A and B are shown apart, each in its own frame.
Chain A
Amino acid sequence: MERVQAVKGHQGSLEVEIAGITLQNPVMPAAGTFGFGEELAPFIDLNRLGAIVVKTLTLHPTPGNPPPRISETYSGLLNSIGLQNPGVEKFVQVKLPYLRQLKPPLIVNIAGRTISEYAELASRLSGEAGIKALEVNISCPNVKEGGIIFGTVPEMAAQVTAAVKKQTSLPVIVKLTPNVTDITEVAKAVVDAGADALALINTLRGMAIDLETRRPALGNIIGGLSGPAIKPVALYAVWRVARAVKVPIIGMGGIMTAHDVIEFMLAGATAVAVGTASLVNPRALIEIIEGLEDYVAAQGIDDVRELIGAVQI
């Protein structure tokens, strides 16, 4: 339904740039919905993605939250995974070799329980070949220590950013939470502290109750809401932040189709990430990229960057 007839012959450029890194197209996976890449390889050609973004890494292996971790909501998904991951060392040994040989730039997402853990993660990963940028997750609603706490107080967000910047020469993308009164305050604070790009939004805090048991539907009680349900909130956040800061923005939140991508770019995103859509349809990333190719062709757009922030007010 969403696919536009391609105009024969016309081929607009889909290339964009984020923090000095060139992406062949603006579409990448959202952290935590892509495993470590291999799981999707049977379904799509990972080399066609704009970038590769892997599940949040912590310094030590993290077991994650007790199940149930998933609860479906109307056009949305509540999750409380709790950053389950093998830890940075095992990642470097077991996962990185595979990821390194993929063509798209690799962005590694990190989260610490303390500012010094963020710094340590940054320094540990900076030395590794094949990593093109770090995405700093200060917005996970599902862990007790760290996570979202750093993302809601502008000063703390700035401190995390500065600490990471100090340890790495890699571009630093800071991932913001929408669960704040004014997201532009946090955005400005992290940009002032050196963030090279911003990623937004992470999930909205949410909850569901199972009527049969009268217990929370999630083992962790609360979770993060993602998927089409949150798209309007995400688009608003991107639009607000794009007008408040000068660094490029990776927009995300409920993107399911190429049309959604275009809305995010018009609102001010330079690139986008696709999360929940991949969980529903493992081919979503590629179908979205193809949809984007069709769209720029049909509209006679020479350079997709024309769309960035081009909403008419």
Chain B
Amino acid sequence: MTTSEKKPLDRQTMCSRLAMEFEDGWIANLGAGMPTLCSNYDFKDKDIIYQSENGLIGYGPLAKEGEEIPNLVNAGVQYVTLRPGSAIVHHADSFTVIRGGYVNVTVLGSYEVAENGDFANWKTPGRKGGGIGGAMDLAVGAQRVWIAMEHVTRDGKPRLLKRCALPVTAVGVVQRVVTDLGLFDVTPEGFLMREIAPGYTPEEVQAATEAKLIISPDLKPLKVT
């Protein structure tokens, strides 16, 4: 492992790393913000079906400016396009898809993830309100809950924690996390670091992490293929 090109991963690389593992035919729900970058990955022959909370099943890329279809937005209220084979349902049926276990993977952003699989992404300190949206339903309903987030806060505080400090979104549901420093699986023993941002050492990543990391014996540089 070399430190020659030490640079945190960019957001597209982080999301592409998760998207790489999407399987053909999967139904995916991508949270607003960073997770939507997963759809930029080149899936080649794989067919991914994007689903959003507002009842849109099977949408395509973002609409080009000037080509927006007025009544067609995803859950992040971005104008998207229709793919052949798409379908529209109402909100209650959309959460049948979500809570009923039809979503193969959801990729969500988060403030914190804990080594027990808890995560916190709806409320920041000192505020009475918050924004839940579909996250709590996705967290308990999707077959896989994967998180994409920066490894530390803007103030440099760790986000991979022993226990969440913020109010949690769901308990024990996160299976995988990608950050700008690596790829981590949540295991019964805690965070297993499987891949690391090129140029970083495990010790450097651990120093930016509150939870104790288990370093995979097969630790590899994180790479998008």
> Are A and B co-members of a single complex?
no
Interface residues of A (CB under 8 A from B): none
Interface residues of B (CB under 8 A from A): none
